[in-house]
Amino acid sequence: MRPIERDELEPLATGAWILGTGGGGSPYLSYLNMCNLYADGSQVNLMDPADLADDALVAVVSNMGAPLVGQERLSDPAFAAKPVRMMEEYLGRRFDAVMSVEIGGGNAFQPLLVGAVTGLPVVDADAMGRAYPEAQMTSFAIADLPMFPLTLADIRDNEVIVARAASWKWMERISRKVCTEVGSIAATCKAPRSGAEVKAHGILYTTTQAIALGREVRRARRAHEDPVAAILTAANGKLLFRGKIADVQRRTTEGFLRGTARMEGIDDDRGVRFEVAFQNEYAVGWRDGQVVVTTPDLICLLDSVSGEAIGTESLRYGQRVSVIALPAPAILRTPKGIAHVGPRAFGHDTDYVTVFDDAVPTEQRS
């Protein structure tokens, strides 16, 4: 276990925003919250998942809802910790550590906010290795672990406990309906995980990965190098397209931010049209009408100058962007993983299409 230093918070925000693939909510406001907490004397410890006892109890936390709403309705550390305390009261047992359900976007900071309030260490792991919008899109769901109980709280003093659910998809449907009713943003504590479950089925060391990725972006900027190229090198990614945003169609429905963005190519991609579809996160990319990349590959839109990630709620006409793909964690690329998080899980009538030669499961190879 080691302390997360104050100068690691900004790299964490930058790296997590990239890994968010457009979703998870902007980390900026949570980053400012953490800066204030550190200025007041708080410090959060990062725990190696290998150090978890098998019978340790781990809280899995997140902000749930539409990213666009998250920009308007601000949360705070006490709000983040509320469902954790609710879960402890329901279980009659204290947690030993806390982790995020997803490393992408603002949810990378959710366990840090909880840790600052409760003193719990933050496990260096998550259950996605990126961001995804639905409860069944996690490594824990792919492993068929229990999906209940779940606690949820909003800023109006509403508290909800989902004691049981018939399946992961039913847990998603029930909790999403509640989230929508309270304004499409809520703090949640997912089904508790044991230390053994985290070590066996979590996606490990992703907080460290996000910090390292953010540091590389900052290093490239200081050296006046191309930060997008630095990201590709650091994360073994591939550049798919450079252009500018020509059109955005976006709507908030059923607690999600859904839509498409169309881009026109510049420089080497002049004359090319690229389009992405998203449900909180970018899910499918088309180049001149041909599908060239899909989830679970990480599809990221970056500011071509700064290398900063662009969330689906922040897309604007005229932005100059680079579209890149990063490889997904191995568990997401298995046939069972693709059933949970592949393009058909988002309603797209296409098989998994990847730009990484070694990423396609054997039975999908032609």
CB 87 within 8 A of CB 193: no
Nearest CA to 301 out of 318, 323, 282, 275 is that of 323
Q: Output the pLDDT for position 362.
A: 39
CB 338 within 8 A of CB 270: no
148-167 burial, b at 16+ Cβ within 10 Å, e below that, comes to: bbbbbbbbeeeebebeebee
Average pLDDT over residues 212-224: 97
Mind listing the pLDDT tens digit for each residue in 24-50? 889 999 999 999 999 999 999 999 999
Q: Does residue 366 surpass a pLDDT of 90?
A: no
CB hemisphere CA count around 246 (13 angstroms)? 13
Nearest CA to 60 out of 95, 23, 29, 90 is that of 95
How is residue 195 written in tokens? 């230390």
Number of H helices, E strands in the chain: 11, 18
Residue appearing with tokens 């900027």 = 221
Using 50, 70 and 90 to split pLDDT, how confident is the model at 361? very low
Q: Output the pLDDT for position 364.
A: 41
Using 50, 70 and 90 to split pLDDT, how confident is the model at 67? low
SS3 338: helix
Q: Enter the pTM of the model.
A: 0.94
Using 50, 70 and 90 to split pLDDT, how confident is the model at 252? confident
Q: Output the pLDDT for position 363.
A: 38
CB 306 within 8 A of CB 255: no
Mind listing the pLDDT tens digit for each residue in 71-115? 666 668 999 999 999 999 999 999 999 999 999 999 999 999 999
The percent of residues in the chain predicted with pLDDT above 90, rounded, is 90
Q: Output the pLDDT for position 358.
A: 65
Neighbours of 61 (CB within 10 A): 28
Residue 295, Cα to own-chain centre: how many angstroms? 13
CA-based end-to-end distance of the chain: 46
Q: Output the pLDDT for position 71.
A: 65
Q: Output the pLDDT for position 102.
A: 97
Q: Output the pLDDT for position 137.
A: 97
SS3 per-residue string spanning 117-181: HHCCCEECEECCCCCCCCCCCCHHHHCCCCCCCEEEECCCCCEEEECCCCCHHHHHHHHHHHHHH
Mind listing the pLDDT tens digit for each residue in 193-202? 999 999 999 9
Mind listing the pLDDT tens digit for each residue in 160-186? 999 999 999 999 999 999 999 998 889
Contacts (Cβ under 8 Å, ≥6 apart) of 280: 22, 23, 24, 66, 67, 131, 132, 133, 256, 257, 258, 312
Alpha helices in 182-226 (DSSP H): 195-201, 206-222
Mind listing the pLDDT tens digit for each residue in 300-324? 999 999 999 999 999 999 999 999 9
Q: Does residue 131 surpass a pLDDT of 70?
A: yes
Nearest CA to 324 out of 350, 349, 346, 356 is that of 356
Average pLDDT over residues 247-269: 92
Q: Does residue 243 surpass a pLDDT of 60?
A: yes
Mind listing the pLDDT tens digit for each residue in 329-355? 999 999 999 999 999 999 999 999 999
SS3 105: helix
Q: How far is CA 5 from CA 10, 18, 35, 45, 145, in A?
A: 10, 21, 11, 9, 33
The kind and range of the H/E element at 64 are: strand 57-65
- Cα–Cα distance measured from residue 64 to residue 67, given in angstroms and rounded to the nearest whole number: 9
Q: Output the pLDDT for position 257.
A: 87
